[in-house]
Structure 1
Amino acid sequence: MCGIVGAVAKRDIVPVLIEGLKRLEYRGYDSCGVAVHLDGELRRTRSTSRVAELEAQIASETLGGYTGIAHTRWATHGVPATNNAHPHFSPDRNGRAHVALVHNGIIENHEELRAELQAAGYEFESQTDTEVIAHLLNHLYDGDLFAAMQQTVKRLQGAYAIAAFCRDEPHRVVGARHGSPLIVGVGENENFLASDAMALTGTTSNIIYLEDGDVVDLQIDRIWIVDVDGQPADRPVRSVVAHTTAADLGPYRHYMQKEIFEQPRAIGDTLLDVETVGPELFGAEGADVFGDIDSVLILACGTSYYAGLTSKYWIEAIAQVPVAVEIASEYRYRTSVPNPRTLVVTISQSGETADTLAALKHAQKQGMKQTLTICNVATSAMVRECKLAFLTRAGVEIGVASTKAFTTQLVGLFLLAMTLAKTKGRLPEEQEADLIRSLRHLPVAIQAVLALEPQIISWAEEFVRKEDALFLGRGMHYPIALEGALKLKEISYIHAEAYPAGELKHGPLALVTDQMPVITVAPQDALLKKLQSNMQEVRARGGQLYVFADAGSNIRSEPGVHVIRMPEHYGWLSPILHVVPMQLLAYHTACARGTDVDKPRNLAKSVTVE
């Protein structure tokens, strides 16, 4: 979600701040800004346009300095507007800007703090919770910004990553984190703060990952960190090679299209070292953990939640282990029955999803200590928090709508199903070998699906004028229908819903007209006959069917029934193949409607607030 970059150096750091913001653009934002210490004063430039426009504005104002902070904001409190954009200033008694601050997260007690600060004489220029932190920090300042930050965070309730500097201490930036990622970049005669190591690519590869409750003091040649108790904290410096978001698009129009076509490579890389399955795939403690569990709880949000729903079918059928799948943002706000022998599995592309991290910690507090994450970022908070991890190798995913991260998550979850089955003595050697062969054939199978793009484009041209769509699936393909509907709505802005096909007659059939396309996932499996009956219900009401059918099925194109035939039926792994044409359908429909495919409105790539 929001992006933070901060620096203290012996050189003009504005180019570093701007480049950092550019590298964080993929996360989503609706305003941006930079503040620096210049000639004994605090100066800032803010914009509700893109970072490129902010850069041009800064150039025209000749803004520069040795100490500064920058931010991309995704609106929570207050509309996207310049006065709500970060950095926020807090003035001294003479009205001169004294403290500059940026913040990711949500402060839950901001209203009480706002009232207290207003009573103390502070005036607010924005509707944000962030300005409350700036004024509180200024109010508590007594000559030492680091000490003031330690006092400030004790008053805050909620999640935050904060970077700030003060007019009176020109070579110092302080930061704090709780529930929202913040890292330190270590340089020579310069040091940095950022919400993501990617922001510092090309500047430094030496990174310190702050932990919840940490407060950090950055000076030109010094880094000092204290923990939640105010005690000195020794956090290791790691060498991290972060990939730049400025990757060459090559022949592709958008990053989403490029990432769809990278899926064969991403899946191949994810399976690179997999010759057989076993607990060691998930970490050194895998054998102990898997041998001790009798159920699985999956926690995830959005696309990752649909990956979890798909894996429920696999794990229960192949491993015969009961599975519960929970929306992470809901799980910790209800009374549940903990089972210490449950394997808690989190799924997250970034490994920093705030709702999922909070749900994980809630499960741990309830006594469920056996934890595993399926994640795409080795250095993420989720990986550090869990006992076990399976790292997908999707590479950096820039498009907000997840594609290759989703399919590699499914691969990791299928390996989990196989491993649990093997641990429980329920995976015969011959079946294991057959499933490994099928996994290894996936990249070739997906290449054949991608070759269907011209046919899918012709469907997209029909969807341009539609405002509603239904997606249908049965069994383990119902979550794939959910994912197809999500993709269409988030990048084309067409209202789309997904249902188990058998649920049509229980209400959704009332919506069907000849103006509502009904997209159907129709694999050649045991439920196909049932699905065909549901399709006839649609045709009888004049609905238009768009069917992704497996090779060998007897579904034929006719008036009102449009069929694209998949190259082959793929058994248990069929969901991974069937999601790919739905990604392409959403992508080309969005292109035809002229939307901002890689940065859809109101959305962010990494959701680091609840």
Structure 2
Amino acid sequence: MSSLLEQEIAEQPEVAARLLDRVRPDLAAYAGLLRSRGSRGLVTVARGSSAHAAHLGRTLVEVRLGLASGEATPSSTTAYGRTPAWDDRAVVAVSQSGASPDVVAVVTAARAAGRPTLAVTNDPASPLARAAEAVLDLGCSEERSVAATKTYTASALALALLVVALDDGRGLAEAQAVPDALAAAVTGTARLEELEEAAALLAAHDRAVVVGRGYSAATARETALKLTELTGTLAMPFTPADLLHGPVAAVGPEVPVLLLPGAGPAAAGVRDLLPELARRGAPVLQVVSGPEEPGLPTTIEVRLPAAAGVADWLEPVVGVVPGQLLAWRTAERRGVEVDHPGGLTKVTLTH
């Protein structure tokens, strides 16, 4: 019998298709809210996997719209009792459960200060949904496995659609390709021998580094979290620049490095790390989603199927699937109960 995690990974194409159908008629309304009261940019507030989807959203706002974005610090509100003015920003909160008290507190304070607030959540009856001015319901159905998969890709797609809304619908046709691309990524990647080879390598080590840049920085964060919570490997995400500013000292033969170049102009900066990683003798894994590029002779390459290709700004919604599958297969090699790893619970109530 398959695990809940495996079932929910497989549900992602259908979840994405439903989300597109449901959100498309409301794009103008979401844009109107996020532009209201003089708003010229976004602030996001989120935790865990939702924060990684929010990171993608902020990057898209800056690159595709040229608008300022920021990330709220919940402790400013919950520990210090201060909420920034955010006079020209709308506040978007992302939480699959909608139950984290610190995220709710930020939205409550922002709404009381007169800022537009939108909750992106899988529970439209949650405290977060009640606190916000409007709700974007992910509509994933209950996610029962502890590790977020379908709620992550749905949240990432939802943030991308909000950017489409603010761009007067530009990019919507490209977003329509996401469900089919997800289906190709789930089925095609799961059959790759290289996936099993990569999982065997990671299962043999207790530490790992995951690298992404630009759009794929969010994918690196999410993949590192999946590896850590599902397998017990301490996986740390970095951009290439952040890795080279000191942490690369920890990289060597006992610390595999997973490169996630993604697609588009930021990909080359990730691949530029290859000579330094070779010099340090680090085992290298690479998820390849664009045109074939030269790697190292010893690099394990997990190549997304051609049918999984989407526009580069949407690649993170699809490109995270190999990370999900890799974490799952690594966990099973280690004998982890993947639906309940490490004594974790589904909902974490942070203050």
Question: How does the TM-score come out when normalised to structure 1?
Answer: 0.54
- Match for residue 390 of structure 1 among 136, 141, 146: 136
Q: How does 1:273-284 map to 2 (within 5 A)?
A: 273-275=22-24, 278-280=27-29, 282=30
User: Does the C-alpha gap of structure 1 residues 511 and 279 become closer, same or farther in structure 2, counting only changes over 3 Å?
Assistant: same
Indicate yes or no: 2:14 matched with 1:265: yes
Structure 1 partner of 2:35: 290
Higher relative contact order, structure no. (Cα contacts within 8 Å, ≥ 6 residues apart): 2
- Match for residue 293 of structure 2 among 542, 554, 566: 554
Structure 1 partner of 2:304: 566
Q: How does 1:389-428 map to 2 (within 5 A)?
A: 389-422=135-168
**How many Å separate the matches in 1 of 2:86 and 2:36?**
15
3-state SS, counterpart of residue 519 of structure 1: strand
Structure 2 partner of 1:470: 209
Counterpart contact for 1:557–1:563, Cα < 8 Å: no
Counterpart contact for 2:189–2:305, Cα < 8 Å: no
Structure 2 unaligned blocks of 5 or more = none
Return the offset for 1:385. 1.5
Q: CA RMSD in A?
A: 2.0
What letter matches 1:287 in structure 2?
G
Structure 1 unaligned blocks of 5 or more = 1-250
**How many Å separate the matches in 2 of 1:517 and 1:368?**
48
Counterpart contact for 2:199–2:326, Cα < 8 Å: yes
User: Does the C-alpha gap of structure 1 residues 520 and 461 become closer, same or farther in structure 2, counting only changes over 3 Å?
Assistant: same
Indicate yes or no: 2:179 matched with 1:443: yes
Counterpart contact for 1:480–1:579, Cα < 8 Å: yes
Return the offset for 1:558. 1.4
Structure 2 partner of 1:525: 264
3-state SS, counterpart of residue 339 of structure 1: coil
Aligned residues: 343
3-state SS, counterpart of residue 260 of structure 2: strand
**How many Å separate the matches in 2 of 1:558 and 1:439?**
35
Counterpart contact for 1:352–1:608, Cα < 8 Å: yes
User: Does the C-alpha gap of structure 1 residues 540 and 336 become closer, same or farther in structure 2, counting only changes over 3 Å?
Assistant: farther
Q: Deviations over 1:9-57 (max 9, x none)?
A: xxxxxxxxxxxxxxxxxxxxxxxxxxxxxxxxxxxxxxxxxxxxxxxxx
Structure 2 partner of 1:129: none
Q: How does 1:364-375 map to 2 (within 5 A)?
A: 364-365=111-112, 367-375=113-121
3-state SS, counterpart of residue 514 of structure 1: coil
3-state SS, counterpart of residue 42 of structure 2: strand
Return the offset for 1:315. 1.2
Counterpart contact for 1:343–1:368, Cα < 8 Å: no
Counterpart contact for 1:374–1:391, Cα < 8 Å: yes
Q: How does 1:210-249 map to 2 (within 5 A)?
A: none
User: Does the C-alpha gap of structure 1 residues 588 and 556 become closer, same or farther in structure 2, counting only changes over 3 Å?
Assistant: same
**How many Å separate the matches in 2 of 1:347 and 1:361?**
14
Return the offset for 1:332. 4.0
**How many Å separate the matches in 2 of 1:302 and 1:609?**
11
3-state SS, counterpart of residue 594 of structure 1: coil
Return the offset for 1:273. 3.5
3-state SS, counterpart of residue 271 of structure 1: helix
User: Does the C-alpha gap of structure 1 residues 538 and 321 become closer, same or farther in structure 2, counting only changes over 3 Å?
Assistant: same
Return the offset for 1:539. 1.2
Question: How does the TM-score come out when normalised to structure 2?
Answer: 0.91
Return the offset for 1:330. 5.6
Structure 2 partner of 1:540: 279
**How many Å separate the matches in 1 of 2:269 and 2:146?**
35
**How many Å separate the matches in 2 of 1:322 and 1:389?**
22
- Match for residue 219 of structure 2 among 467, 480, 483: 480
Structure 1 partner of 2:189: 452
Q: Deviations over 1:117-149 (max 9, x none)?
A: xxxxxxxxxxxxxxxxxxxxxxxxxxxxxxxxx
Counterpart contact for 1:339–1:368, Cα < 8 Å: no
Return the offset for 1:274. 4.6
Percent identity over the alignment is 25
Q: Deviations over 1:139-161 (max 9, x none)?
A: xxxxxxxxxxxxxxxxxxxxxxx
Structure 2 partner of 1:607: 348
**How many Å separate the matches in 1 of 2:318 and 2:53?**
13
**How many Å separate the matches in 2 of 1:392 and 1:275?**
13
3-state SS, counterpart of residue 120 of structure 2: strand
Q: How does 1:14-33 map to 2 (within 5 A)?
A: none
**How many Å separate the matches in 1 of 2:148 and 2:274?**
29
Return the offset for 1:331. 5.3
Counterpart contact for 1:551–1:567, Cα < 8 Å: no
3-state SS, counterpart of residue 601 of structure 1: helix
Counterpart contact for 2:182–2:318, Cα < 8 Å: yes
Q: How does 1:21-100 map to 2 (within 5 A)?
A: none
Q: As a proportion of its length, which structure holds more strand?
A: 1
